[in-house]
Amino acid sequence: MKWASALLLAVVVGAGYFWSLDRSGEPDAWADSGDLTDQAAGQPLVREALQESAVDDADSLALPDSLQGTQPPGGWGPDPDGHWEVTPELRLLFDYYLTALGEAPLEELVAHIRQSLASLPPDARREAMAVLEDYLGFRLALTELEEASGPTQSLSPGELAERLERIRALRRSTLGDAVAETFYSEDEALADYALARARILADEGLEDEERQARLTEAESMLPEHMRASRQAARSFREYREQVSELERSGAPREMIDALRAQQFGEEAAERLQEVDRERAQWDRRLAEYREEVAQLEAAGLSEPDLAEERQRLLERHFEEHEQTRVRALEQMNRTGDSAQTQ
């Protein structure tokens, strides 16, 4: 079943196994960085980028545009007693900067990472930089492995499992067992679950009851907090479906409020009620704005005048921090309309 493989691939990519997409949904800059896709040519570039002398006046380096206005992740520093160890958050710090590869050269991104790590005690800082060197080596080797292996979209669950095993082995050979477990244990647990799920869904010989039992058994292998997260997501999805059904049937608000309290408790129900009120207010304001924009567009204004009046409407209906969201929604609508006409 192709859809089962697609499901597996989506979960595996989401778990961080493949570096095919960055935050913007565009191809990963690492894969487009010339010699960094070739391990033999890339290793000297990585070693050079790790030298403190690789960047002049590192303190004055500006962040790449895509990172402007954002904050690097925390959680990788020493504990209150001053003890430091490698954590999953250290990988998030590395990735935060490395996703900007292509906007800025590797040596500048490494300089930003080094500046962040400057708050660590000297021994911890040296260890963290050594982990970064190994991590860059892993990224380099992973890109070469994927280049050689070809696209994943058409792989069967069995073939994808083989590739995942190669990646798992590569992590341990480049990062060491301890760091690989720290950085990727949750990703690997999720990928193992996704693989088992895909195989169960693809097994046409299973009856519905047996299939559901095997899916439940596969999910039980996930770490406790991941199982709890999945259950919470299911509960909320079921709640939203029930609320939608009640709203369609014209049920009184008291019945919906009672459902919230039953599902989540009084305190959480009050927070959800406030979220629903804010959502309804947003929907109303957006509808009013779009109606007025449609009237403007029907008035036959020139493009400059239309753009000016549209901006005035935007400022009248929305706060400055909301206007970016409205523009994004408008762009999505225009993109969708364009796709339908092609």
pLDDT of residue 27: 37
pLDDT at 1 over 60: no
Task: Give 283-301 pLDDT, tens digit per residue.
Answer: 999 999 999 999 988 988 8
Q: Side chain identity at 216, as an amino acid letter?
A: T
**Are 68 and 59 in contact, with CB atoms under 8 Å apart?**
no
DSSP character string of 198-245:
HHHHH-TTS-HHHHHHHHHHHHTTS-HHHHHHHHHHHHHHHHHHHHHH
pLDDT of residue 32: 45
For residue 17 the two structure tokens come to 């196994």
What is the pLDDT averaged over residues 163-187?
94
Task: Give 222-278 pLDDT, tens digit per residue.
Answer: 888 888 888 888 888 888 888 888 888 988 888 888 888 888 888 888 888 888 888
Alpha-carbon distance of 314 to 203, in angstroms, equals: 52
pLDDT band at 166, cuts 50/70/90? very high
pLDDT of residue 235: 83
CA distances from 285 to 192, 290, 327, 332 (A): 45, 9, 14, 18
pLDDT at 329 over 90: no
Residues 6+ apart with CB under 8 A from 65: 103
Alpha-carbon distance of 77 to 131, in angstroms, equals: 14
pLDDT of residue 156: 75
Element (H, E) at 254: helix 253-264
Alpha-carbon distance of 277 to 285, in angstroms, equals: 12
Task: Return mean pLDDT, the chain.
Answer: 81
pLDDT band at 124, cuts 50/70/90? very high
pLDDT of residue 214: 93
What is the pLDDT averaged over residues 50-62?
71
Output the pTM of the full model.
Answer: 0.63
Element (H, E) at 320: helix 320-341
Given phi > 0 = left and psi -120 to 50 = alpha, else beta, which region is 101?
A: beta
pLDDT band at 211, cuts 50/70/90? very high
For residue 30 the two structure tokens come to 């690492």
Task: Give 16-32 pLDDT, tens digit per residue.
Answer: 433 333 333 333 444 44
Alpha-carbon distance of 219 to 205, in angstroms, equals: 20
pLDDT band at 63, cuts 50/70/90? confident
